[in-house]
Amino acid sequence: MQPEAYVAHHFPNLRQQEHAARLGMWLFLATEILLFAGLFTAYSVYRFLFSDAFKAASERLSAPLGTLNTVILITSSLTVALAHHWAHHGRGKAAAVSLLVTLLFAASFLVIKGFEWTHDFHEGLLPGRYYASTELTVTGAPMFFTVYFLMTGLHGLHVVVGMVVLSVIMVQCWLGRYDHGYVTPVELGGMYWHLVDLIWIFLYPLLYLI
Amino acid sequence: MATTTNSHSEHDRMEHARATRYWVVWVALLAGTVATFLLSRVHLPSPFNLLVALFIACTKSALVVLFFMHLWDHGGANRLVFATSIVFVTLLIGLVVLDNATRFTLTNPGRGPTLQMEPPGPDILTPRGPPEPATRPDVPPVAEPGRGAGIPAPEPAR
């Protein structure tokens, strides 16, 4: 399709439409930031009130696995940026391969998260009223795990949604649907993925490295 | 439209940008991750461990937002939207934590820390510090020298 064929009737040209799409995506990402801000507020209050408990509880998490997950997500952000770059230059197959690599990184992030969670379940470090650890009994420790599971859970949900979006875009890239005239879906899907990475960049030191 | 010239130059800048910038940012992000991890093992004293970690996280985020999300190339309203969300997040977290931090003694669960402010008395213009230990209800009175060791302080009359 010629790029101009993608222009909806209420936009004067394609560049205007692109600008609108980008602004709309930023507005949506701002709401996502505020969504996580609510949970970060809960974290901040409980960390302030129970600082010793949070420190002790954070040591029960595996900092090496958390660091590995951070490296994985950062690298997946790189591959998404490269996919956008290559799609923009008309190299659809390279972009699709790059998105496939992103999806593999995302899947391994979820697998590692699964290992971490099951390990915590075995130790009785559960959220809310299910907390059952006999070793970690400082007042406030269960609040750490409530916040931990809620935040990483919501983040994991966003990873899954991002994977679905990127899969669709990957197929479209492979079929050569994007080039320098029209690459908006890759750009917007990429922005969503970068936001997922951004949130993890803050979750990692606050949860694992207290 | 007035925006077309602006959008063309932005578009051209994106067209000619090389992919190397993404690799450079990636290396910087990895360096930041390693730095955060190593600094956390050093166990800096209390507010600094958090401040340093947040500073590094903010720097990494700035790199992701500016270069991976192209906010460096595409200016204008997008930057305003992002900056506004950050302002509101700061207000939300800052004021809520400040609320908790400035509560009076014994009002925080788990005997949590407070800023030890005495409630204002009838004369609210006179500044007061924390009350003397002898008059505080939660701190047991210091044993006077004349007393035998081990004799507990008398129960307050109900």
Asked if the model's pLDDT at residue B44 lies above 70, the reply is yes
Cβ contact, residue pair B36, A187, below 8 Å: no
The complex scores an ipTM of 0.91
When pLDDT is cut at 50, 70 and 90, the band that residue B9 belongs to is low
Q: Name chain A contacts of B1, Cβ cutoff 8 Å.
A: 12-13, 16
Higher local confidence (pLDDT), B43 or A114: A114
Between CA A127 and CA B83 the distance in angstroms is: 33
Between CA A192 and CA A80 the distance in angstroms is: 10
- Annotated domain spans of chain A: 9-208
When pLDDT is cut at 50, 70 and 90, the band that residue B2 belongs to is very low
Q: Name chain A contacts of B49, Cβ cutoff 8 Å.
A: 210
Which residues, including other chains, have CB under 8 Å from residue A130's CB and lie 6 or more apart? none
Between CA A95 and CA A173 the distance in angstroms is: 6
When pLDDT is cut at 50, 70 and 90, the band that residue A95 belongs to is very high
Higher local confidence (pLDDT), A55 or B147: A55
> Considering the domain A9-208, what is its CATH architecture?
Up-down Bundle (1.20)
Closest CA to A59 of A138, A118, A127, A112: A138
Between CA A82 and CA A96 the distance in angstroms is: 10
Nearest to B92 among A41, A51, A88 (CB): A41
pTM (two decimals): 0.82
